[in-house]
Structure 1
Amino acid sequence: MAVPRLTLKLVQKITNSIYNLEVVKIKEYPSYIDKNVWIKSQNDEEFLLKFKLEAFDVEVEDMVTSMMQHLREGGFRVPYPIRTQSGETYQTLEMNCEDGTTSTFPFVMLKYIPGNTIFQSHCTAEELLTVSRNVGVYGGMLQKRLLTCPGKRAQCKECSVWYTENFSDLRETLFFVEDMQLRSIIEKFIDQFEVQVTPKLAKLRKAHVHGDYSDTNILLIDRTTVTTSRLSEEQLLSDLGVIDFGESHHGYIVFDMAVCIAYMMTQAVSSNACPVGVAKEVLMGYLQAFPLTDDELDVLFMGIVARLATSYAKGREIIATNSECDPNFVSCQSSKCPKLLKLMNNKGSVDFVKTLLSS
């Protein structure tokens, strides 16, 4: 994969000539896919310059811009694209690469939203339970707002195994799962998914979804309030934010919630909290703002284990095949997944969902 070679001088040239901004400071942010550079302007404004390293789909980019704008108009704290001097939301540029070649890269500049993510906030077990309820409500509010988002329903990366409906495709990656007991558990979950979920896909609602509503993309703008109190919807709009719409698409609503629960459960492992208790708080909060159908609740368990399995297996693949990746960054969430997959295997779908929905 070609990666642009960035320097302060080059970033200053790009921002000045294309955005009419004087940049005084830059810092590279880690990312699975894109090349992200935080920048600070001469006027102390903060932005994120995002270079796209994968295939760039104009229709998808326009849809994501529409989603962010629609959420902003609804009071949500989200990034938004800064238009170029010619009025465009994205631009392309031929650049030198780290491997000595040249390539053309699309890029966007986004308004930076300050705040620490849940992952960066190192919550205690008690704090995480409160955060989880607030995150659930906020996620339901977010999805409710996205139901009314105008614009095209662009599909992107339909074959991506990161899309839960494609969970069966993970079989091709299981070679990288060295723990044979864990591999067997994942294979069993894939078999169950094909029988219990795939035939039901036509009954599940689709809408514009964030695609990666998780602990690394949810901002605690006011850490004190979010970790200590169950907040009103008005307070949540002020004290929480969400970033990174790079996986946004028109997809299954319940699977987006499953992604959130899966990653909040990895935070539970880090915080020595009860993963099932954290999952329950997220779901109860979400249902408070945005009810799920019975069919959606029936597939929630499988959606959660699908993301946990995908996160771990794909993480192992990336580490094994990409010598330039940072293993600590890649495994920051996925290293918790084996413990959770074994927990979910022992608990089972019926008992898990019953626990989450119990009063």
Structure 2
Amino acid sequence: MSTKESNPYLSHSQATEIMKRLYGLTVSVVLPLPSYIDQNFYIAASEGGEFLLKILNSADSQNSSVIEVQTHAMNFLHQRGFPVQTTLPTLTGQLTSLEEIDCGFGMQKYLVRLLTYLPGITISKITRSPQILYDVGKMAATLDTVLLQMEHPNISALQREDLMWNLANIPLLNQHIHLMDGDPIQKTVKAVLEQYQIQIVPKLPLFRKCINHGDLNDRNLLVEPDGPSKYKNSGILDFGDMSCGYFIFELAITIRYMMIGSSNPVDVGGPVVAGWESVFPLNEAERDSLYLLVLCRFCQSLVMSRRTVIQQPENEEYVMVASKSCTDHICHLWELGKEEVERIWFQSAARFSQP
């Protein structure tokens, strides 16, 4: 099955019917929301309340144990005060429902969930001050620290050795590097992948393990006004890329996404590191690997976006937003070099942390 055929394309009337049949709710407003390979609808019900109806692609819909752990994790974090969505039960008390739906490619099975709706604006829409970047780093470290306490009988499902977005799986990118043939950036991407094998793989045993959210990007973090010109974190979305990993992976991923849209992207790292280390100080191996891991995440985004655009040309505009400016960032970080980028990040973090 192609990726296009795996993705759900429900009509508004199909979404409305699901809401009534599974949840007993009458839809008064239904609006499509952006998504990468799933389908999301904002729902307002006549009976009251706002919701997010999420329909998973048919490939991920087969991984029920992963979805079960993700759902558990969201409820676990919500109970501990994190601003995350929770899953609402169907009329029969189920947190998920596997539905057989025709989206134009014949009947396919798609996993359906109804989530609470979190108000706020995505952090991509604001100018990120050093303070909000510090807060994001602190929140990311706190999130992973708390997830260490989570127990679930299917937690091993989060190993996800085939998840292309796990930084442990950087070598898997080599099978798609040909998609960049003819593009000058391919040479740098290959060099980054080679450095991963040389510099990162030997250090993996020295990294401290955890469960990663894995996708703290600028559209998965919500903020709300906190005074006339300040913002505070108000929501963490999309646990679809959760996997077993390492604390340093989460930090690298967070820095990568906070750089997007910044007028001085390299300067972003300092406040994020300072916030992170206020909760979870890095060890020597983790600190020495951060620069290259940020580059690796940029490479993941660049290569995977090329792959997705070929598979989903109709979704090109949204997919390319996810890798916007990746080439420029990779080139800039690579040209500055490890020593200079680390100097900027760690000196800035030290200044930020001073009383």
TM > 0.5 between the two? yes
Kept in 1: contact 2:87–2:114 (CA 8 A): yes
1:131 aligns with 132
Following superposition, the deviation at residue 179 of structure 1 comes to: 5.9
Aligned length: 340
Q: Partner amino acid for 1:104?
A: K
Cα distance change, pair 190–225 in 1 and its aligned pair in 2 (3 A): farther
Aligned match of 2:275 in 282, 285, 290?
285
Q: Are positions 1:81 and 2:87 aligned together?
A: yes
Can you give the 5+ residue segments of structure 2 that lack an aligned partner in the other structure? 351-355
Q: Partner amino acid for 1:342?
A: C
Q: Within 2, Cα distance between the matches of 1:218 and 1:52?
A: 20
2:23 aligns with 19
Q: Are positions 1:38 and 2:42 aligned together?
A: yes
- TM-score scaled to structure 2, two decimals? 0.90
Following superposition, the deviation at residue 8 of structure 1 comes to: 3.3
Kept in 1: contact 2:212–2:249 (CA 8 A): no
Q: Partner amino acid for 1:130?
A: Q
More deviation in 337-346 or 289-298? 289-298
Following superposition, the deviation at residue 302 of structure 1 comes to: 1.6
2:318 aligns with 329
Aligned match of 1:171 in 147, 171, 174?
174
Superposed CA deviations along residues 253-278 of structure 1, whole A, max 9, x for unmatched, are 2111111100111121xxx2x11211
Aligned match of 2:114 in 109, 116, 120?
109
Following superposition, the deviation at residue 183 of structure 1 comes to: 0.9
Superposed CA deviations along residues 226-275 of structure 1, whole A, max 9, x for unmatched, are 9637xxxxxx6xx421011111122222111111100111121xxx2x11
2:225 aligns with 223
Aligned match of 2:250 in 247, 250, 256?
256
Kept in 2: contact 1:135–1:285 (CA 8 A): yes
Classify the secondary structure of the residue corresponding to 1:148.
coil
Q: Are positions 1:350 and 2:339 aligned together?
A: yes
2:205 aligns with 202
Kept in 1: contact 2:121–2:222 (CA 8 A): yes
- TM-score scaled to structure 1, two decimals? 0.89
Q: Partner amino acid for 1:149?
A: M
Aligned match of 1:47 in 48, 51, 54?
51
Can you give the 5+ residue segments of structure 1 that lack an aligned partner in the other structure? 230-235
1:302 aligns with 292
Following superposition, the deviation at residue 9 of structure 1 comes to: 3.1
CA RMSD of aligned residues (A): 2.0
Q: Within 1, Cα distance between the matches of 2:17 and 2:312?
A: 31
